[in-house]
Amino acid sequence: MPPDTEPTGPDPRTRQLHPRLARAGSLWRMKSYLRPYTARLAVIWVTSFTGIGIGIAIPLIGREIIDGPVARRDPGALLPLALLALALGVVEALLVLVRRWLLAEAVLGLETAIRDDLYRHLQRLPMSFHGAWQSGQLLSRVTTDLSVIRRFLGFGMLFLVLISVQITVVTVLLLRLYWPLGLLVAASAVPVVITSMRFERGYIDVSRQVQDEQGDLATVVEESAVGIRTIKAFGRGRHVFETFDDGARKVYRTSMEKVRLSARFFTFLEVIPNVTLAVVLLLGALAVGSGLLTLGTLVAFTTLMLQLAWPISSLGFILAMGQEAMTAADRVAEVLDTEPDITGGAQEPGSPRGHLRFEGVEFRFPGAGEPVLRDVWLEVRPGETVAVVGATGSGKTTLTSLVPRLHDVTAGRVTIDGHDVRDLSLPALRSMVATAFEEPTLFSMSVRENLTLGRPDATEEEVEAAIEVAQAGFVHRLPWGLQTRIGEQGMSLSGGQRQRLALARAVLSRPRVLVLDDTLSALDVETEALVEEALRHVLREATGIVVAHRASTVLLADRVALLLDGTIAHTGRHHELMATVPEYRALLSADLDGGPGTAGGPAGGFDDGFDDGMDDLDAEGALR
């Protein structure tokens, strides 16, 4: 399914109902995932009801055997009835085998389909959603909650219907066999129903609490795994363990409360059938002794009644499973019902040039009082590179994230070749724009798979060219070269190595607009110089926007844009801004060890050398 299309999933309107109805509605809407298995489910239901019929028929055949051939001492008539009972038992076993085989494939397919849609929907949701949700909560919804839904929709719902039918049919038969004892058995179901209703109310709340707390605990585990180096470096292993232990004990306490509720309920369900059976045997024996009941009828009656013991006992378990499934479906629906506020347009530009413009752009985070960016005007022509310079927290990264629509403007617009980026389809836009982030993200896959994430069809020559540009030749010295699998988040590599791989990945995608979010910050001086030299050749063929925290990075740019108080205050060449804008001069001075007025500061040798470098770039640009 394409990223811009809606996944099959719950209807957001259900969440406006009463909480209990919303939970039931969320689960009921999941039934749409069973539609591909309609024929298979029809066979499952037929075999299930046939199995119930056979199970009920066998005790009745037993009654005929006892009251007929056994009572009359007629061995000849016994054999056919015994063979019939045996044949029915074999058929019932085969039907159970068929049912389980077909059901397993259907429910696993259901779970896979829901998981695919949920994961696909997560990819469509904006950065604001992922920033607000804990990763562990999302993980528990994709794994644990879907398993709960699978168990109920696949097994629980089927058995809930079968058990209800079996209880009804058997109760009617018991009343027909001997109505006084039948009424006794029916009356014993009343306390079970009352207790089930009370159990349900408490079980819903505690089940949701357990599932939420498990999500919180998964978040702690995930964050600890990602941040293990920081934890070890600061010696905070004990503190992290205590945090985990507190969460684990909270899950334990809530789970034990859930167990206590279940234990009381299921114990009660076990007691009622056993007490009823004892009373039935006593009264039935008296009825047989007085001639009101035949021995075969009593045996059939008790056998049928024992068939009610498991359904009545498991009824509570299945109802509890249903409550858990409704809670899980409600938690999954929270994600599926979240509408993405960034959706693609319909335009597909044919031959993009990469002419980038920010036109009166404003951006504020949801709920924020003040905008991060306001009235931003900036133009970057095809083949031109602009460095964005500003203090920490001034909104440089936010500005660049508006280009590939990781965030959307709240006022104004961003255009590429005159097209508002909101009118372009997301695949088309993100094929034109490549971003290398300050904090590179690598995945637990091979080096080559990480490099070709944006260009799966890249040739070996193109991959090698991107590696050369990013000065990432270290990959050939890894144990298996480009096929070496790097650990989660690339933690087996140094920060500089991760940045070079991320840069090579961005270069390999051959974008029309290349965004470098302080991508060179983790490189040593020598490697940075080599990367910058190679990037100059790449940037000649693309529109470049470079976030610069270091003075040396500005060398890549044709022009510099100074971001002050959320807006572009000045644009121009480096030496012009150095001469006329004190704020710009102060920002670059802060990057130097010497500071202003020293031998290494802007007032000394660095400034002269830097301007010489810019003059060289100007001359090179003029020759082009």
Stronger pLDDT, 22 or 601, i.e. the higher one: 22
Range 281-304 average pLDDT: 87
**Which pLDDT score is estimated for 372?**
92
Range 54-80 average pLDDT: 82
| pLDDT, tens digit, 9 for 90 and up, residues 439-470 | 777 887 888 988 888 788 888 999 998 888 88
Residue 131: burial class (beta carbons within 10 Å; 0-12, 13-18, 19+): exposed
Residue 347 domain flag = no
The two most distant CA atoms of the chain are separated, in Å, by 122
Measured distance CA(452)–CA(505) in Å, rounded: 6
**Which pLDDT score is estimated for 94?**
92
Q: Domain containing 364 — which CATH number?
A: 3.40.50.300
**Which pLDDT score is estimated for 590?**
59
One domain for residues 435 and 292? no
Percent of the chain with pLDDT over 70: 87
Copy the structure tokens of residue 525.
């001086």
One domain for residues 569 and 459? yes
Residue 346 domain flag = no
One domain for residues 393 and 452? yes
One domain for residues 265 and 205? yes
Measured distance CA(552)–CA(532) in Å, rounded: 9
Q: Which of 336, 370, 395 is the last residue of a domain?
A: 336
One domain for residues 28 and 144? yes
**Which pLDDT score is estimated for 377?**
94
- Tell me the average pLDDT of the chain: 80
pLDDT at 142 over 80: yes
Quick one: residue 371, left, alpha or beta (phi over 0 = left, psi -120 to 50 = alpha)?
beta
Q: How far is CA 295 from CA 22, 290, 292, 302, 304, in A?
A: 52, 11, 10, 11, 14
**Which pLDDT score is estimated for 20?**
54
| pLDDT, tens digit, 9 for 90 and up, residues 516-564 | 887 766 566 767 776 777 677 777 778 889 888 777 778 778 899 999 9
Range 306-316 average pLDDT: 75
Residue 349 domain flag = no
One domain for residues 136 and 244? yes
Q: Domain containing 306 — which CATH number?
A: 1.20.1560.10
Q: How far is CA 109 from CA 48, 380, 382, 572, 608, in A?
A: 20, 49, 49, 59, 68
Residue 296 domain flag = yes
Query: What one-letter code names the amino acid at 297?
Result: T
* Mean pLDDT lowest among 76-80, 279-283, 411-415: 76-80
Range 589-601 average pLDDT: 44
Nearest Cα to Cα of residue 189 among 315, 279, 320? 315
Stronger pLDDT, 424 or 215, i.e. the higher one: 424
Query: What one-letter code names the amino acid at 203?
Result: Y
One domain for residues 440 and 456? yes
pLDDT at 605 over 50: no
Residue 576 domain flag = yes
Q: Which of 282, 302, 336 is the last residue of a domain?
A: 336
Range 346-363 average pLDDT: 88
| pLDDT, tens digit, 9 for 90 and up, residues 71-120 | 777 777 778 888 888 899 899 889 988 888 888 888 888 888 888 988 88
One domain for residues 272 and 398? no
Range 287-291 average pLDDT: 86
Percent of the chain with pLDDT over 90: 10
Return the ∠ at Cα 603 (arms to 599 and 606), rounded to 5°: 60
One domain for residues 178 and 63? yes
Residue 75: burial class (beta carbons within 10 Å; 0-12, 13-18, 19+): exposed
Range 358-382 average pLDDT: 90
One domain for residues 543 and 612? no
Provide the 3-class DSSP secondary structure of residue 572: strand
Return the bridge partners of 516, or none.
436, 546
pLDDT band at 23 (very low <50, low <70, confident <90, very high): low
| pLDDT, tens digit, 9 for 90 and up, residues 247-278 | 899 989 998 988 888 788 777 777 877 888 88
Tell me how many domains the chain contains: 3
Provide the 3-class DSSP secondary structure of residue 72: helix
**Which pLDDT score is estimated for 596?**
37
First to last CA, the chain: 45
Residue 480 domain flag = yes
Stronger pLDDT, 22 or 317, i.e. the higher one: 317
Stronger pLDDT, 499 or 57, i.e. the higher one: 57
Give the domain range for residue 571.
Answer: 356-591
One domain for residues 199 and 237? yes
Residue 342 domain flag = no
**Which pLDDT score is estimated for 339?**
83
pLDDT band at 24 (very low <50, low <70, confident <90, very high): low
Nearest Cα to Cα of residue 135 among 495, 404, 143, 326? 143
**Which pLDDT score is estimated for 229?**
62
DSSP state at residue 425:
-
Q: Which of 336, 365, 393 is the last residue of a domain?
A: 336
Copy the structure tokens of residue 27.
């689960």
**Which pLDDT score is estimated for 489?**
61
**Which pLDDT score is estimated for 1?**
37
Residue 585 domain flag = yes
One domain for residues 472 and 551? yes
**Which pLDDT score is estimated for 411?**
93
**Which pLDDT score is estimated for 205?**
75
Range 493-519 average pLDDT: 81
pLDDT at 168 over 90: no
What is the pTM assigned to this prediction?
0.64
Return the ∠ at Cα 572 (arms to 571 and 573), rounded to 5°: 145
**Which pLDDT score is estimated for 497?**
81
